[in-house]
Amino acid sequence: MSFYLWLAAGSAAGGFINGLAGFGTALFALGFWLQILPPTEAVSMIVIMSVVSGLQGVALVRDSIRENPLRLSRFVLPGLVGIPIGVKLLAVASPLAIKLTVAAFLIVYGGFILLRRELPQLPQPKPILDCAVGFVGGILGGAASLSGVLPTIWCTLQPWTKSEQRAVMQPFNVLILAIAATVYAISGYYSSRSVPLILIALPITLISAQAGIWAFKRLSDDQFRKLLVCLMFVSGLIIVAKEVLFG
């Protein structure tokens, strides 16, 4: 019974945060699932949860996506190029070093921004930097399944509404993680044990994501931006704690 309680708790936590913020499923679910599952099984299952629950968020901001598909493409296309580079980087670099470097950046950046009275914003569009952020996000996705970190930070600096921010972050994450799920499937990560667990966790994740979406709709643009910064700071702490406790 305790096994399924841990499974349900991770599904609920990951689903809710995905519905609320558009990212963070793995960061908030792994703390529960690593208590009961091997790391490769937990990560491969969470990728499925992230993609499926993320599709609900994509549908939520589909109008914002249609209004500016070019902006999204500036992130997605370079991100696709970055994925194989990240996979190769994983073969020569330490995943722990990559994750701890990202975590340190999140903690320092998030903590610094939280100490300011007002969040900084870039006044003018930066298309070239959009492409660079998407490219590095793809690399981090391939190397450490952290594709959403840099795009999320970048979106908080833009003078965009919460729907416009999410219209970049969520489709980007869903696509990158869908590719990761395909790689995991080809590599044989999904076993006769993991498939039934996915079928148990998926409804909980989807219902919790709907609760998160309900909360998202009630946030102002500024509140959403501040929420993302807070979650980045917390995500950095979670990465460090996970690697120290379970790495």
pLDDT digits (tens, 9 = 90+) for 131-184: 999 999 988 887 767 788 889 889 888 888 999 999 999 999 999 889 888 887
Rounded Cα gap, residues 11 and 31, in angstroms: 11
pTM: 0.81
**pLDDT, position 95:** 65
| Token pair recorded at residue 229 | 């910064």
**pLDDT, position 247:** 61
Which comes out higher in pLDDT, residue 122 or 223?
223
**pLDDT, position 117:** 65
Cβ atoms < 10 Å from Cβ of 98: 18
Task: Please write the tens of the pLDDT for every residue from 23-60.
Answer: 878 778 877 887 888 877 887 888 889 899 889 989 98
| Token pair recorded at residue 93 | 């670099």
Contact yes or no for 121/142 (Cβ under 8 A)? no
Model confidence at 90: pLDDT above 70? no
Give the mean pLDDT of the chain: 85
Q: Which of 11, 49, 28 is nearest to 184 (CA)?
A: 49
Q: Is 24 left (phi over 0), alpha (psi -120 to 50) or beta?
A: left
